[in-house]
Structure 1
Amino acid sequence: MSGSKSAQGANGFLYFTGFIGAAVYYIGAAAGFWAGVVGLLKALVWPAFLVYEVFAHLAS
């Protein structure tokens, strides 16, 4: 078991605020209802997009 409960809570809060920010961004950029739904799903996995872009940038 690594980390304290307070550190895990802080990480959860950071992920949650990132989720809210990503949801606002993706839903705001959506052209229609279903694009907004897809944007909400993208907001759930935004860290994967971030890591992919970082690795793509490092590879070039």
Structure 2
Amino acid sequence: MPDSRRSTQIVESTGQSVVFFLLAYIGAAIYFVSRSDGSFWGVVLGIFQGFVWPVYVTYHVLDLLAV
């Protein structure tokens, strides 16, 4: 029979990383939208580019390393 006095506590702490990635997404979206031509599809593309900005960073880092 299990001991009812024993308990297991699991603590997840993801709040700080979520805030960092949210701020990074907002900043990247503002950057890409500000570089667009101001048309509707330009703004939509800028928001999409802000969502996938780590791909741009990875590509340019690998390009600089000549990999």
TM-score bracket relative to the smaller structure: 0.7 to 0.9
Structure 2 counterpart of 1:56: 63
Q: How many residues end up aligned between the 2 structures?
A: 56
Q: Say which one has the larger Rg.
A: 2
For 1:1-60, what aligned pairs fall within 5 Å after superposition? 5-6=12-13, 8-31=14-37, 32-59=39-66
Letter aligned with residue 53 of structure 2: W
- The share of aligned pairs that are identical, in percent, is 32
Per the normalisation by structure 1, the TM-score is 0.78
CA distance in 1, matches of 2:22, 2:52: 11
How far 1:5 moved relative to its partner? 2.7
Specify every segment of 5 or more residues in structure 1 that has no aligned partner in the other structure, as ranges. none
By how many angstroms is 1:14 displaced?
1.3
Please report how far the alpha carbon of residue 9 of structure 1 lies from its aligned counterpart in structure 2 after TM superposition.
2.4
The whole-number CA distance in structure 2 between the counterparts of 1:27 and 1:51 is 20
Q: More helix per residue: 1 or 2?
A: 1
Deviation at 1:30, TM superposition (A): 1.2
What is the one-letter code of the residue matched to 1:59? Answer: A
